[in-house]
Chains A and B, each alone.
Chain A
Amino acid sequence: MTDRPSASVYGTYGGSAASTPLMGGSEEPLIFSLSSPGRRAFQLPSTGVPDLAPDDNNVELPALPEVSERDLVGHYTRLTHRQYSVDLGFYPLGSCTMKYNPKAFDEVAEMPLLKDVHPLISAQFSQGWMEIMWTLDRALCAITGMSAFTLQPPAGAAGELTGLLVAGAYHRSLGEHRTVVLVPESAHGTNPASATLAGYRTVTVATDSDGCVDMASLESSLSEDVAAIMLTNPNTIGIFEKDVVEICRLLHEAGALAYYDGANLNAIMGITTPGKMGFDIVHLNTHKTFATPHGGGGPGAGPVGVRAGLEQYLPGPRPVLNEDGTCQWKMPDHSIGRVHSYNGNAMVLIRAFAYILSNGSDGLKKVSQTALLNANWLLKALSGTYEVPYGSSCMHEFVLSASTFKRRYGVKAQDIAKMLLDRGFHPPTVSFPLVVDEALMIEPTETESLQTLQAFTSAMVEIASEIEATKGASAKAAPERTPVGRIDEAQAARHPIVTAVPRT
């Protein structure tokens, strides 16, 4: 432990959910079991409209719950007591950027003149929305070094598919039909999945001993069939791709495009841009970088930006600013078409807009700098105790390996995750990226205090000692202080039960 940082003299530890035992050890029945025939919570506004519907149309009504409003509130409130969240404590899921979500932006998302606006209202009555979207488009261009954005994609993966379709349209305009997308070994699973759905074959590029794209592997994969490379930078190991400029140059030389997966943009704002690196197409995840809440797994928003020359292929219509200061909807000349029924996840985008206004150019740079500071501090704090497969410093996240514990005691990364749950912390991402055996991928984000990092460090060190002391026995028993114990996932998959048994 001698190389652990000394900053522990400051303050008290914090950031863990000490309320874990309060999260509810007893079962909460399904809402359907709280049902009593004829009981109701609903009351509708009076309208005075006569009932013109046919009297009895023999339709059997679905078996929805019949509960009182009080029972409804009790049930879902109790469920929230069985749920970890960023508001409750530290949530260092790597590549997910679980930063604090400012409450002021909840107020923005509740403004009636934003949330009650019908998406098909004529532009005359939605000028506010259109100006917001146009301004957000400009801001995202500044942040990424791109030239134009579409705000339509409703999530990052939808953005990937959109970006690849744009690449396809570009190549078709040159009379080319390219069939291959290059994806590094360390890439998110959505990259190859999106490539397949865009009609491409994926070729995997190897990772070198530094955790970066293996240049020899890249060069041997290049051909006139290659449409694009999809690259996350910093990559999912938390390392900046040192050859990124050369990678983009080689791709361009081969007539291919460079696609930037913006999952890790939180590392580089105000420092560099995907545009500077040489990328042509970018998708962002507003729920990562711009603090829009993750909502238990969505909604997100996945805006896609392109460099000058590719704007005409973007989905549309897009809001654009006229010379007289008004905005209009415009379909780009060679648009790939719509990728969303309306204007994208507007109420998510508005929060991202608020976040960008609030931070500004100075604040966003500070966000990235602090994200790096926290990640590097934590990496150093843990590196004496856990194996670090790549590098001694990192960008905004880093990956540890539990392979030594696995070899010695059969303890896996997932076991360490469960031991963290007992200590009141949400665990890091486990078993990803695939290039690291028993990976623990840690992204503290900039909104966590030094004291929280210290508390997490203590928990991780304690876990390592406990594994040694019990020769791994205690790891298999964890978690014990959570609402339910470890779940039999194999059984769930073998005999899937995905809806409640109908009432008799």
Chain B
Amino acid sequence: MSTYIPHTEDEISVMLSDLCCKSLDDLYAAVPSEILLEEGFDLPMGISEADVVKRIRELAAANSYGGYAGTGIDHSLVCFAGGGAYDHYVPPVVSSLASRSEFVTSYTPYQSEVSQGVLQALFEYQTMVSRLSGLPIANASLYDGASSLYEAVNMAISYTGRHDVWISCGVNPRWRSVLETLVSGRDIRVHPIKLRGASTDWDAVLSSPDLSPPAAIVVAYPNYFGALENDMERVKGLAVNLGALLIVAFDPISIGMLPTPGHYGADIAVAEGQSLGIGLSFGGPYLGLLSCREEYMRIIPGRVIGESVDGNAKRAYTMTLRTREQDIRRERATSNVCTNQTLMAITATIYLSWLGPAGLKEVSRRCYSGAHYLQGLLCAIDGVEPLYDEPFFNELVLRLPISSEALLTRLADDGFIGGIALDDEYVQECISSSQDMSITSDSGHPTGANLLIAVTEKRTIQEIESYASSFEKAIR
């Protein structure tokens, strides 16, 4: 059993006698006897922490590819998968600082006077998110990209009083699923807008007469397929004409090369912050970035840190605009966020400070270069071709002459997570067919032959070339 309880038997006796109790059971006098657990619960007895670590290490071993299990090789496959979660380099200084116990073991900074560490770090975080996105204000984090999208949509609904949302099929499909689930209890309609090529087909939606004007239109840049949409310069005008808020989902790492959501006229920008110094972590905890124009200050969700002064006019930070929040506004609150992802926000802040503008540019260019170098190698293989013609950042979709599942299995044999298989049904839901780019079965490709591949600054030329040759071998 664990020993995290400090009490000696002696102390327990004295404390019980102070309370005029005979045993610990007396403390539960208020619990009706008919609901007491007679035999405790069906769990094993406790074990020492060393045994726990050993047991979990054994379980974790099953996470590596079978060829590694039992060989003592303690690493994962080389990762070419993205889809919203990327294998970027995390420098030791980030992990070291972010794991300091003052950051790790504190709570929401309700008592500002002894929470200036977390508060100031979050204020710096808000500033960096604002600068990355090109929008003036930001909140102190949400759970992940999907929750930022959901909260941004709620902001738009609350601001416009409308109930429809137009969302580009270029937005991460898992984010869209989360959004659809979380709004499903209310009278809110989410309309997916198909892509033509890899760019949102706004003309198609504008010509469909039966749609109500939306609260928001949502577009991703780069989008889920890695593409840089053609029509970004136009999308703001569209939102203005419709009286809708423009929500842009972006990749913070791409800002070393690409214009910001603010440049494209976004009212709200949302992003997954996992790329900013946070490990793949089997999907969480990640980090939801949300920033917006100043006019939405009073409807921004979650915690917001503000600068103020103490009684001696000394600069100090505190949670602010608290009257928006659930603990005060209760059923009239527009968000239920209480716990956010402070530690991940602090991690991202430290990472971005380590990176600086020059580092951001360098990482961005390396991601771009690796992906384009790989594309050159793969598209030279007979039967492999890009799914779309638009430019891309660090992720791309290829059409294959074999099924992507079969290819992934072969690549795994050679030590790679080869990418993410996109099934035809999904691709057809997202992309309108056209004469020049058919994804129907008569295109000569087998079913399920779309692969989403990502490259980060971590991938060496040897890894990329060796991946490409495995790829070629598997297809031949």
Contacts and interface: CB of A to CB of B under 8 A. Distances in A.
B124 A500 contact: yes
Most-contacted residue by chain B among A118, A196, A197 (CB, 10 A): A118
B6 interface: yes
A139 B356 CA distance: 45
Interface string B111-138: 1111111101111101110111010111
Interface stretch (A198-206, A249-257, A402-410, A460-468): A198-206
Given A190-B338, A339-B178, A432-B327, A116 B75 contact: yes
B202 interface: no
A344 interface: yes
Please indicate which of the listed interface residues B45, B124, B279, B281 has the most CB atoms of chain A within 10 Å of its own CB. Answer: B281
Interface residues of A, number: 207
B114 A64 contact: no
B306 A47 contact: no
B207 to A, nearest CB: 30
Contacts of A87: 101-102, 104-105
A376 B24 CA distance: 11
B184 A417 contact: no
B32 interface: yes
Contacts of B408: 122
A193 to B, nearest CB: 4
A87 B461 CA distance: 44
A308 interface: no
Interface string B265-291: 000000010000001111111100000
Given A47-B461, A128-B63, A42 B114 contact: no
B280 A340 contact: no
Interface in B139-178: 140-141, 143-147, 154, 172, 174-175, 177-178
A63 B357 contact: yes
From A46, A160, A356, A372, residue with most partner B Cβ within 10 Å: A372
Given A158-B147, A492-B320, A500 B359 contact: no
B373 A486 contact: no
B117 A81 contact: yes
A343 B104 contact: no
A333 to B, nearest CB: 16
A298 interface: yes
A321 interface: no
B16 interface: yes
Contacts of B357: 61-64, 66
B349 to A, nearest CB: 8
A192 B336 CA distance: 8
Contact of B49 (A143, A347, A358): A358
A458 interface: no
Contacts of B412: 122, 124-125
A242 B283 contact: no
Contacts, number: 703
A426 B112 CA distance: 11
A50 B369 contact: yes
A128 B59 contact: yes
Residue among A47, A98, A168, A373 with the most chain B CB within 10 A?
A: A47
Interface in B351-368: 352-366, 368
Contacts of B309: 487-488, 491
B476 interface: no
A7 B11 contact: yes
B4 A447 contact: yes
Contacts of B10: 10
A73 B97 contact: yes
Contact of B330 (A84, A202, A277, A489): A202
A113 B35 CA distance: 41
B107 A93 contact: yes
B109 A373 contact: no
Contact of B352 (A40, A64, A131, A487): A64
Contacts of A79: 116-118, 120-121
A154 B178 CA distance: 12
Contacts of A157: 326, 336-339
B149 to A, nearest CB: 10
Contacts of A417: 111
B356 A348 contact: no
B128 A142 contact: no
Interface stretch (B210-218, B240-248, B255-263, B443-451): B255-263
A100 to B, nearest CB: 6
Interface string A22-43: 0110011011100000111111
Contacts of B131: 62-64, 499
A242 B186 contact: no
A270 B40 contact: yes
A271 B76 contact: no
Contacts of A80: 100, 102-103, 117
B77 interface: yes
A96 B110 CA distance: 12
12 contacts: A72-B353, A105-B52, A117-B282, A125-B417, A242-B32, A296-B109, A299-B339, A337-B181, A358-B48, A447-B4, A488-B310, A489-B112
Which 7 pairs of residues, A with B, have the shortest CB-CB distance?
A342-B283, A83-B117, A360-B46, A295-B343, A119-B283, A199-B185, A299-B285
Given A86-B106, A363-B1, 12 more contacts: A42-B354, A49-B369, A64-B132, A64-B352, A72-B93, A83-B102, A298-B285, A336-B184, A362-B45, A374-B15, A417-B111, A484-B310
